[in-house]
């Protein structure tokens, strides 16, 4: 059963997983519109180990990175949604510009990001220095939160007003 952890709890739990010889995988992101591309990436990440940790950006960090109109769902809603995902074992929040500090504290065996971040994977140095593996997994074609949001807005703006009213 997936669980939300505060950072100190997660670091302590990570030590237990290590003592139990469980391979820990870490990935992170905003996940403010959960879509099939996210699910497939999380499933592939989970297949690389025994435990998958998902680091979610806080609302404030999403806004700093993506602008004042994001996230679409607040961090509590995103946590509740992520807790329902079969591939995810542990969830935590980070407020920093990147999850480097969180990754350095957890030191996963495998650090995973989508291929769109292959140019910069925060925490790479720390994980590799500790003997871990860093992977940029291919993205599911046709799924981008930013593109989906633009499409929704475009459709909304071009829809006749009568179609937008609730019955």
Query: In angstroms, rounded to a whole number, what is the distance separating the alpha carbons of residues 112 and 151?
Result: 28
Backbone angles phi, psi at 90, to 5 degrees: -145, 140
Whether the CB-CB separation of 49 and 22 falls below 8 Å is answered with yes
Q: Check: pTM over 0.75? Answer yes or no.
A: yes
Cis preceding linkage at 71, omega within 30? yes
Q: What is the pLDDT along the chain (167 residues), one digit of tens a residue?
A: 789 999 999 999 999 999 999 999 999 999 988 888 899 999 999 999 999 999 999 999 999 998 998 898 999 999 999 999 999 999 999 999 999 999 999 999 999 998 776 788 999 999 999 999 999 998 776 667 666 777 777 777 776 664 555 55
Which one, of 6, 13, 11, 43, lies nearest residue 27 by Cα?
43
Instruction: Burial-class residue 144 by CB neighbours within 10 Å (0-12, 13-18, 19+).
Output: middle
Domains of the chain by start residue, with CATH: 3-140 (3.40.50.620)
Query: In angstroms, rounded to a whole number, what is the distance separating the alpha carbons of residues 63 and 16?
Result: 34
């Amino acid at each position: 059963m997936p669980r939300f952890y505060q950072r100190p709890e997660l670091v302590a739990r990570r030590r237990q997983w290590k003592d139990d010889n469980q391979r820990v995988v870490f990935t992170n992101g905003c996940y403010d519109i959960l879509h099939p591309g996210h699910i497939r990436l999380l499933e592939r990440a989970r297949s690389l180990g025994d435990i998958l940790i998902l680091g979610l950006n806080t609302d404030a960090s999403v806004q700093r990175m993506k602008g004042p109109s994001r996230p679409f769902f607040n961090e509590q809603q995103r946590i509740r949604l992520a807790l329902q995902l079969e591939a995810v074992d542990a969830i935590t929040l980070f407020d920093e510009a990147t999850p480097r500090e969180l990754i350095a504290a957890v030191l996963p065996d495998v650090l995973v990001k989508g291929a769109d971040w292959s140019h910069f994977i925060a925490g790479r140095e720390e994980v590799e220095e500790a003997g871990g593996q860093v992977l940029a997994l291919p993205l599911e074609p046709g799924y981008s939160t930013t593109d989906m949001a633009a499409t929704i807005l475009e459709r909304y703006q071009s829809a006749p007003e009568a179609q937008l009213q609730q019955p």
